[in-house]
A = this chain, B = another copy of it.
């Protein structure tokens, strides 16, 4: 499929609960994931919630990565959204699985902006 963007939607289960609630570890994992994928990091924003849980986004020139964690369930939702052929989102996915210690995970790949459909309506 000829698409503008590619999005990996990751369900990260049975993770290391301490890492899911540790701001530095999470931020490092997300930035390392972006770098390993070959992305250009433009900025990041992370927020801690009470009593637990962290949300974070890394904006890259090729789109974004985000993560939301629920330490109480050992669960995190992560998305890796990229465009162009210069980045390898699967590398970022592998880093997140490894750094969060996810012993159970699944990933759905979505194509965003199917050019055949986009172009047929923008003329």
Q: Which of A's residues lie within 8 Å of B, judged by CB?
A: 4-5, 7, 9, 11, 13-14, 42-43, 45, 47, 49, 55, 57, 59, 61, 63-64, 66, 68, 70, 73-75, 77, 79, 81, 83, 103-104, 108, 110, 112-113, 115, 117-119, 121-122
Contact = CB atoms under 8 A, between A and B. Distances in A.
A74 B118 contact: yes
Given A11-B113, A55-B64, A64-B57, A104 B121 contact: yes
Copies in the complex: 2
Contacts of A119: 73
Contacts of A77: 4-5, 7, 81, 112-113
A14 B70 CA distance: 37
A83 B66 contact: no
